[in-house]
Amino acid sequence: MQVKKIKTKRKEIVFKNGTVHYKDSGDGAAVVLLHGFLEDSTMWNQYTQKLAGKTRRVIAVDLPGHGFTDSFGYVHEMDLMAEAVHAVIKNEGIQRVTLVGHSMGGYVAMAFAENYPDLVKGICMFFSTARDDSSEKKDVRGTVSKLIKLDHVSFIRKNVPMLFMPEVRKRFPREINMFKYRAAKMTKMGVLAANEGMRIRPDREIIARFAPYPIHYVIGRHDPVLHVDSLVEQTSHGPHITYDLFENCGHMGHIERRADCLKSVRKLILKAEKKG
């Protein structure tokens, strides 16, 4: 029997001096999907079709400077991005949400949790961290900003494949090329503003430690962006924080281990919905 495809509505709202775009699918308890750096809401297309339905609503946001959403200055702080997400939720009249954030999207989710704590039912840190950058990583981001200013498209084309495990890059040429193609459409300002926003983000691990709702980390053993030991250590501060660690997986689990990571995300969503 063929499964009926969930209808997705493309929407936009006025935010500050521009617009924020997002996709809205299904009905019921709300899940908000937040993409990572250089990505956009399309990264979640296959997950949306699996998660949305008659009892669950899935909203995938194009964060500032990404996808169809405008840029709002030279630095997109995570708090600004969280404010944009809040504007979407407020516009839709949603009371509480479960947040799923990939990489930078996880940083935004933690900023949202700090600024709008009563709206959060649960958070899935999807290949992401609640901690700030180390001094070494901040220096790297400073170098990245210089490379972006010189030629952001070349930076994108060179670095996108590095997010995947070397052993699996040949298995996903179409996905990698599509990622590069969509990212290359971003403006230099959008890429630079996001990188600078990540560089100056504060440590928000304390928000995760004392959260009254479930938090679940999805971790890749061979993530080239995040330190696995640090992520696992973050999950040791209470029974409300759990994790799944996937072998043969880099930073792009929604592609490298799509089905397994979907199960992991769904686990958090169900727990958050059950808790209420």
Q: Domains plus CATH for the chain?
A: 8-275 (3.40.50.1820)
Question: Quick one: pLDDT at residue 6?
Answer: 83
Nearest to 85 by CA among 50, 100, 214: 100
Question: Quick one: pLDDT at residue 24?
Answer: 98
How far lies 73's CA from each of 64, 94, 137, 146, 266, in Å?
10, 28, 23, 17, 35
**13 pairs with which residues across the strands?**
20
Question: Quick one: pLDDT at residue 276?
Answer: 72
φ, ψ at 209 (rounded to 5°)? -60, -40
Question: Quick one: pLDDT at residue 201?
Answer: 98
3-state secondary structure of 210: coil
- Alpha-helical segments (H) within 8-101: 45-51, 78-92
Question: Quick one: pLDDT at residue 204?
Answer: 98
Question: Quick one: pLDDT at residue 1?
Answer: 41
Question: Quick one: pLDDT at residue 3?
Answer: 53
Sheet holding 215-220, edge to edge: 8-15, 18-26, 56-61, 29-34, 97-102, 120-126, 215-220, 241-246
Q: What is the pTM of this model?
A: 0.97
Question: Quick one: pLDDT at residue 4?
Answer: 62
- The mean pLDDT values, 10 residues at a time, for the chain of 276 residues are 74 97 97 98 97 96 98 97 98 97 98 98 98 97 97 97 94 96 97 98 97 98 97 94 97 98 98 89
CB neighbours (10 Å) of residue 90? 12
Distance CA 37, CA 40 (A): 8
